[in-house]
Amino acid sequence: MTAAEICAHRLSIITGHYGTGKTEFAVNLALSLAAGGERVMLADLDIVNPYFRSRERRQLLEAAGIRLVATSQACTDADIPAIPAELLTILEDRSVRGVLDVGGDPVGARVLARFQPQICREDYQLLCVLNANRPEIRTPEAAAAYLRAIEETTGLTCSGLVNNTHLCGETTPAEVRRGAALAEAVSRETGVPVLCHTAETRLLPALTGLDAPVFPVTIHMKKPWE
């Protein structure tokens, strides 16, 4: 599956519980869109208890021609809960493909509530990233409740699920398939379709026959000790 197919809308808003890998997915999506010739802006809006931050890969993103919009611009090691003014550029400039990396719970997602009327006037999709290894969302009922809480907080409607189940470098095809089963169950629970599964390129040959396409990703977000 290509980035243009995943990002069929002008704005892709990426949300997901802590540790699901939503930032990794957002970074890979932005890089793939840029590689396809799109003019891309990535907004790092994860301002409440972030673990991985898109801005940690500023050099990589800017080398690919992606304009990064982030909080705490002057101090990359601090998290300042403020909305960057450049976010308006993503919302207003319709020549831009925007990828928004949003906080991992309803409190973090609240950042979008103030922009809800404007977002709803744009061509957007709200994607929920799932990881079956996260205890908070490992059941369909818990994941569905999380998704609905995000929708209620933001005033936006989720239109796609992304199965990003992984164990970092120890991920196996079986792990991805286990996540696929969770995503299918959440889809039945909520009526939100499974947009895609993600996996490193090395795993792709063993992931045929899934219900949705597989989007290849490269691991860019590293733990501090790696």
Contact by Cβ (8 Å): 84, 43:
yes
Sign of the alpha-carbon torsion through 181, 183, 187, 190 = positive
Residues 6+ apart with CB under 8 A from 117: none
Summarised one tens digit per residue, pLDDT across range 157-203 is 999 999 999 988 889 999 999 999 999 999 999 999 999 999 999 99
Q: Which long-range contacts (CB under 8 A, 24 or more apart) does 23-26 make?
A: 23/50, 23/52, 23/53, 23/54, 23/101, 23/221, 24/52, 24/164, 24/217, 24/219, 24/220, 24/221, 25/129, 25/162, 25/164, 25/198, 25/217, 26/54, 26/99, 26/100, 26/101
Summarised one tens digit per residue, pLDDT across range 83-121 is 667 888 999 999 999 999 987 777 767 888 888 999 999
pTM score, whole prediction: 0.89
